[in-house]
Structure 1
Amino acid sequence: MSDSGRADALLADLPAAGRGRLNVFLGAAPGVGKTFAMLQAAQARLRQGVRVRAGVVETHGRGETAALLAGLPVQAALRRDYQGVAVAEMDLDGLLADPPQLVLVDELAHSNAPGSRHAKRWQDVQELLDAGLDVYTTVNVQHLESLNDRIRDITGVQVRETVPDWLLQDAFELVLIDLPPRELLERLRDGKVYVPEQARAAIDAFFSQTNLTALRELAMQAAAARVDADLARRYRQHGREAPAVRGRLLVGIAGDEAADRLVRHASEVAQRRHLPWSAVHVDTGAVGDEHSRARLQAAQQLSERLGGEVVLLRGGEVVRTLLEHARERRASLLLVGHGDRRGWRRGLAERLLRRGDGLEISVLDGEGARHARRTRPRRPPLRATDYLLATVAALVASALAWGVSRYLALPNISLVFLAAVLLVAVRSSPGPALACAVLSFLAYDVLFIPPAFSFTIQRQEDVLTLLFFLLMAALTGNLAARQRRQLTALRQAQRETTALLELSRRLTAATDSEAIYSATAQQFGQWPALDACLVVRDGDSAWRLVAAAEGSPGSSVEARAAAFAARFAEPERAAADWAWQHERPAGTGTDTLPGGRWWWWPLSGEDGALALLGVRGRDGRPLSAARRRLLAALGQPVAQALARARLAEDLEAARLHGETEQLRSALLASVSHDLRTPLTAMRGAIDSLLALGEAIPLADRRALLEGTRDEAERLDRYIQNLLDMTRLGHGGLTLNRDWVAPADIVASALGRLRPMLAPLRLETRLADPLPLLHVHAALIEQALVNVLENAARFSPADGRLQVAVEADADELRFVVRDEGPGIPEAERERVFDMFYTAARGDRGAAGSGLGLAICQGMLGAHGGRVSVGEGLDGRGTGMVLHLPLPAQPAVEVER
């Protein structure tokens, strides 16, 4: 065995992170001592220092059981009024508000009073486990969902309160509480289980010696199955091969009354053989009645509760589709009902046995299956319009055939009737098509087979012709109707696939959460029978509508939001809160808070729920299982897109944080250059003037003052750069554009930097003529000043500095070239980063690195850019300021 498999087996023994452990005390019947054993175990845990609380414990008046409650804290029951009767229920919110370490919950299969958060008590237990609380609970074997039919067959009683089998499979520990039937019957007679009157009725109706023995065997089988699973896991933990899972079990279900029985039997067989299993329904396109669809939906929901996979297939032939799916999934066992066998038609089981080579096929045939055959599902009501169409088609075909009979031979006339049969089959169903075939057969005999206008047939070959015509008409009609059903099914599948692909395409183009919300609303807005919405929870636990696909198409988002808020009543809010917290569906159509009108599906990522998808049918009916599965499938890419958007936002935040830290470090290094250096020079000059005063020659005093002024101007330019960068970063830069000549900008910039440029050989080249620029003149001048100052700082003494202005049809360029050290090609893009030069450390060249960053920001605000190239004669650096040229203004000519 691989190390990974052994590790998985070891991890399976550990509870999920933050989830509590479930201990189940299982018994064969009431009175075997489950509650007593649970309280004994709780008392032992209490003595160990564990904080234990009894959530709900039913003593049924038994003194020895009530005595074990002594010393155990008890959570006060929650009283609910149901039809004028006060019903006591477990206070789930009270337990969650002040959580103990261990909660005692008796009678796991109990149904909660209407109005409770969950329909079943086992769902309350799941919420306690999700909150990290350990739970001790009790249940009888008759309440297991997969055994429901067998319990009815054994006892004659249909148990209404059931729990899914996966609860026992996921339990941390299963304890079987066993008591021989004779001792249990003695306890019943002694009044230790029920009061004497109830005990006598219970013995007569349920607790017979035979029933208790059978229930005891079922309880032992359930415990043995759990022991087998635990043993296999122990083998894997020690690195030894466990019994291999052999294939898969498939159970074929339809909308008949045997569907539930098939599903429960499949769950039991799969559990006994340790097989994964699927409930498969083949949709041939035939329209069933409402009862059939309801039974099919109930069987699919039962499959999900029992831990099976629900599969919907579409095909024209049930047997071939089932066998193809079984081969694709590498199934080893196929379970079906016996079905019908009427005349020449073979039942489903017989056809599977004939064609399913290499596949084990089990056929369930019992009282339930025979009852299902006796009461076959009702067919859809006949549509009078379809049969009227068949009659009219036969009459029209007869008239048309009579009209062309003088021109065509008798065998060719039958094609007219066949065309009518095909037309009816394509437009309706096999029944009307067969009716049209029979009417066409009669018309063909009466009108065209001699003797005319008589059902008598004189020639033997005409008998064969008529029979062959009837056979061909029936076959072609049935084939056309089947193709029509398949076409309808394929169209439905295509619509679902198209919806998924369209949503995926829209989500791919969405770059942020708002775009994802909008794309989702557009997709669900295409379904006229549904209202859909997306809601998220803000930090203050308030719900916020982020997308809505409801109301009239022309209504505004605000109107839809207001309409939704008006309908977001307390039942909807409670269901949404629960779905968000537990990441499981809630609301109408589920067993959790079903009192509202909306079905809530959480769109979850790795870190929890990202949004809630709310859907309701406009007709007020709960969504079908197929529609819920489709919505869940569509919700998956939405959840992935939201997780991707959140990840992108987190990465962007991390990047900005990193850049901020880098900026802070660079700022500190920059301050050491551009603030400390001029301040030090200014302080030195001022100290000299104060200390020596008139002793300093006049020329030297003037030089000290001019140096102080230059350093002050340098400091002012640096502070101005900081202010400009702040305005650019916060969007506070306002462009007051005007028409200006490029030569004026160059002249003003050179004038401002005359002292700095004095040691250099300045060359100015301006093209003639130059177009006007429609810009903020002061900003462009500042950008040019920054570039010139940067070039002057790095130019050698007596070096050349060239300023040129060029223009073409699309843009105007300010070009500044120097003979400095130049910039390596790999670093030319980085010179526009803030504090680039300062980041080199205190030994780097003077300058903050802000000037070029500001230059790029100012030109970018005008739609321009800055580029870096070569300097003069292959040396130094060339900075080019690109500005777009607008259409030139009209020039007025004086007359």
Structure 2
Amino acid sequence: MKKLIQHTGTKNQYVFSVLSVGIVSVLFLFTRSYLDYTVIGYLLLVLVSILAIFLDIYAVLLAAVLSALIMDFLFIKPYYTLHVETAKDTLLLLLFFIIALINAVLTYKIRKANQLAHAKEAKLHTMKLYNTLLDSLSHELRTPIATIMGAVGTLQEKSTHLSEENHVKLLSEMEKASLRLNHQVENLLNMSRLESGYIKPKMDWCDVKELVYNVLDNLKEELIHHRIKVKIADYLPLFKLDYGLTEQIIYNLVFNASQYTPKGALIEIEIEYNPEVNFELEEDEVMTCKIVIADDGDGFPEEEINKVFDKFYRLQQSKTGGTGLGLSIVKGFVEAQKGKVFLESKEEGGAVFTIAFPATVMQTNSISNE
């Protein structure tokens, strides 16, 4: 109700104000033989206070004035006239009017003060998040930049005689630093696209098996000390997905697994076609494409699982570095394709990310007809 009234135009707020006072007054009209008019006055004051919580100030003032007039017209004798016979009733009516106005203004100001306080708190929270991001970026960007600059400086020094092996090593370090830098910039650009609502999936037939091996090839340096296991059925059909978004989803999950698991850890990637999997969704929707990325690392603390997809969130016990954008981008890119993403920790240790898409399917034996 609150959101509905807040999105109502000014004119409609006046109408709502008049209708509220009118309806309540008509209801009280049937009880004026049993209730003293002072009690009805208190109840009308309560109504004005409730309206002040939701409406703009002028609509509330209208309710206060209207309540005072109705109080006089319907509930103070003589009925159906604005004439007041006794000084006591005149004073009562005047006090009712003043209290209603003061009550309306004070309630409205309290509401505005609360809104300003919440807005200020939200702004401070946002600033804290962005400061966290900048602090992270100062590390995440400075390290590869320093690597590249140092390698370039060494290569440019004419007095330094490098062996072929060291020359190749420096070029390799520059390449890895460039890829790391590019990954961070891509994450920032992707988050910007998500926040602006610019993400519009371009659905086309995707060979998810080929996509997975492309990601693994791009991350071969990060995965050099990990064990990789890929489980994909030979008969896997083509899925209609956004290739670029899906590739970034798998890339971020595998990259995170490589960064936050110890050397020698196992990273498993499994792709399934199972049109009967529904993951207990509220809507009756069939998820045809299922992607599971699991590891045998430390997993996630149970109390933090619901927070890991939040923007800028990093685990309390995680190592330094990282921007906290990778998993929030995963969630955004999955939902942009009407999919779902789930995270759970294995009892024996490790994390399991499950992604499901309601993708259209084409069996590979019909490719020639496309």
TM-score of Structure 1 vs Structure 2, range by shorter chain: 0.5 to 0.7
Candidates 270, 278, 281, aligned match of 1:804: 270
- CA–CA distance in 2 between the matches of 1:524 and 1:774? 55
The residue that corresponds to 1:171 in the other structure is none
| Deviation at residue 688 of structure 1 after TM alignment | 2.3
Candidates 607, 610, 626, aligned match of 2:73: 626
Does the CA-based 8 Å contact 1:674-1:718 persist in structure 2? Answer: yes
Does the CA-based 8 Å contact 1:673-1:838 persist in structure 2? Answer: no
The residue that corresponds to 1:780 in the other structure is 246
| Deviation at residue 609 of structure 1 after TM alignment | 6.6
Q: How does 1:24-63 map to 2 (within 5 A)?
A: none
The residue that corresponds to 2:301 in the other structure is 824
The residue that corresponds to 1:709 in the other structure is 175
The residue that corresponds to 2:220 in the other structure is 754
- CA–CA distance in 1 between the matches of 2:367 and 2:150? 58
* Count of residues paired in the alignment: 301
Give the TM-score normalised by structure 1: 0.30
| Pair member with larger Rg | 1
Letter in 2 for 1:714: R
| Deviation at residue 892 of structure 1 after TM alignment | 8.6
The residue that corresponds to 1:684 in the other structure is 150
1:514 aligns with 2:2: no
Q: What SS does the aligned partner of 1:611 have? A: helix
- CA–CA distance in 2 between the matches of 1:860 and 1:641? 41
Q: CA offsets per residue over residues 436-485 of structure 1, 9 Å max, x none?
A: xxxxxxxxxxxxxxxxxxxxxxxxxxxxxxxxxxxxxxxxxxxxxxxxxx
Candidates 631, 640, 660, aligned match of 2:126: 660
Letter in 1 for 2:135: A
The residue that corresponds to 1:272 in the other structure is none
Candidates 197, 200, 205, aligned match of 1:739: 205
Q: CA offsets per residue over residues 683-728 of structure 1, 9 Å max, x none?
A: 2222222336661101111110110111011111101111111121
- CA–CA distance in 2 between the matches of 1:892 and 1:709? 37
The residue that corresponds to 2:81 in the other structure is none
Change (3 A) 1:886 1:699: same
Q: How does 1:357-436 map to 2 (within 5 A)?
A: none
- CA–CA distance in 2 between the matches of 1:730 and 1:704? 39
- CA–CA distance in 1 between the matches of 2:245 and 2:310? 19
The residue that corresponds to 1:874 in the other structure is 348
Change (3 A) 1:646 1:884: farther
Q: What SS does the aligned partner of 2:268 have? A: strand
Change (3 A) 1:637 1:751: farther
Change (3 A) 1:844 1:760: closer
The residue that corresponds to 1:292 in the other structure is none
| Deviation at residue 865 of structure 1 after TM alignment | 3.2
Q: CA offsets per residue over residues 219-247 of structure 1, 9 Å max, x none?
A: xxxxxxxxxxxxxxxxxxxxxxxxxxxxx
Q: CA offsets per residue over residues 260-279 of structure 1, 9 Å max, x none?
A: xxxxxxxxxxxxxxxxxxxx
Does the CA-based 8 Å contact 2:311-2:325 persist in structure 1? Answer: yes
| Deviation at residue 848 of structure 1 after TM alignment | 1.9
| Deviation at residue 883 of structure 1 after TM alignment | 2.4
- CA–CA distance in 1 between the matches of 2:74 and 2:128? 52
Higher RCO (CA 8 Å, separation ≥ 6 residues): 2
- CA–CA distance in 2 between the matches of 1:524 and 1:805? 61
The residue that corresponds to 1:865 in the other structure is 340
Change (3 A) 1:627 1:724: farther
Q: How does 1:293-308 map to 2 (within 5 A)?
A: none
- CA–CA distance in 1 between the matches of 2:104 and 2:199? 39
| Deviation at residue 646 of structure 1 after TM alignment | 4.9
Does the CA-based 8 Å contact 1:818-1:878 persist in structure 2? Answer: yes
- CA–CA distance in 2 between the matches of 1:792 and 1:734? 29
Letter in 2 for 1:863: K
The residue that corresponds to 1:673 in the other structure is 139
The residue that corresponds to 1:721 in the other structure is 187
Does the CA-based 8 Å contact 1:670-1:838 persist in structure 2? Answer: no
Letter in 2 for 1:876: G
Greater fraction helix? 2
Does the CA-based 8 Å contact 1:832-1:856 persist in structure 2? Answer: yes
1:834 aligns with 2:281: no
The residue that corresponds to 2:44 in the other structure is none
- CA–CA distance in 2 between the matches of 1:526 and 1:816? 56
Does the CA-based 8 Å contact 2:17-2:51 persist in structure 1? Answer: no
- CA–CA distance in 2 between the matches of 1:772 and 1:823? 32
Letter in 2 for 1:822: G
- CA–CA distance in 2 between the matches of 1:865 and 1:745? 19
Candidates 262, 272, 292, aligned match of 1:815: 292
Change (3 A) 1:643 1:603: farther
- CA–CA distance in 1 between the matches of 2:17 and 2:361? 44
Q: How does 1:132-531 map to 2 (within 5 A)?
A: 507=1, 510-511=3-4, 513-515=6-8, 518=12, 521=15
1:795 aligns with 2:272: no
- CA–CA distance in 1 between the matches of 2:213 and 2:131? 37
Give the TM-score normalised by structure 2: 0.66
Candidates 852, 864, 879, aligned match of 2:327: 852
- CA–CA distance in 1 between the matches of 2:270 and 2:341? 15
Q: CA offsets per residue over residues 599-644 of structure 1, 9 Å max, x none?
A: xx999859x97233669xxxxxx98943799xx9x99999999779
Percent identity, aligned pairs only, is 23
Structure 2 runs not aligned, ≥5 long = 23-47, 64-68, 77-96, 277-285
Q: What SS does the aligned partner of 2:197 have? A: coil
Does the CA-based 8 Å contact 1:837-1:845 persist in structure 2? Answer: no
Q: CA offsets per residue over residues 285-335 of structure 1, 9 Å max, x none?
A: xxxxxxxxxxxxxxxxxxxxxxxxxxxxxxxxxxxxxxxxxxxxxxxxxxx
Change (3 A) 1:783 1:513: same
| Deviation at residue 786 of structure 1 after TM alignment | 0.6
Greater fraction strand? 1
Change (3 A) 1:867 1:646: farther
The residue that corresponds to 1:128 in the other structure is none
1:697 aligns with 2:163: yes
Letter in 1 for 2:303: A
Q: What SS does the aligned partner of 2:323 have? A: coil
The residue that corresponds to 1:884 in the other structure is 358
- CA–CA distance in 2 between the matches of 1:713 and 1:803? 22
Q: CA offsets per residue over residues 645-669 of structure 1, 9 Å max, x none?
A: 7577445523421321211320232
